[in-house]
Structure 1
Amino acid sequence: MNRGQFEEPVTVLVGMGFPVGIENVMEAYALLQDWPAAGRNGAHAIALNACKAGIAGEIDPETVRATLVTFARRNDILVQDMVAPAAALGDAPRAGELAG
Structure 2
Amino acid sequence: MNHGQFKEPVTLLVGMGFPRKIDSVMEAYALLQDWPAASRNGAHAVALNACRAGIAGEIDAETVRATLVTFARRNDLLVPDMASPPAAVANGALHEVS
Distance 1:81 1:49 in 2: 25
Give the match for residue 87 of structure 2.
Answer: none
Residues paired across the two proteins, number: 84
Larger RCO of the pair (alpha carbons < 8 Å, separation 6+) = 1
What's 2:52 paired with?
Answer: 52
How far apart in 1 are the matches of 2:79 and 2:55? Answer: 24
Quick one: distance in 2 between partners of 1:3 and 1:61? 8
Structure 1, gaps ≥5 residues long: 85-100
- Matched AA of 1:15: G
Report the CA distance between 1:3 and its aligned residue: 0.6
1:28 maps onto 2:28 in alignment: yes
Report how far residue 16 of structure 1 moved.
Answer: 1.2
Compute the displacement of 1:81 (Å): 2.3
CA contact (8 A) 1:11 1:82 kept: no
Query: 1:5-61 CA distances to partner (integer Å, 9 max, x unpaired)?
Result: 000000001111111110000000011001110111100000000000000000000
Give the 4+ runs in structure 1 shifted more than 6 A.
Answer: none
* Corresponding residue number in structure 2 for 1:92: none
The code of the aligned residue for 2:10 comes to: V
Displacement after TM superposition at 1:80 (Å):
1.4
Structure with higher Rg: it is: 2
User: How much does 1:82 deviate?
Assistant: 3.2
Identity in percent: 82
CA RMSD for the aligned pairs? 1.2
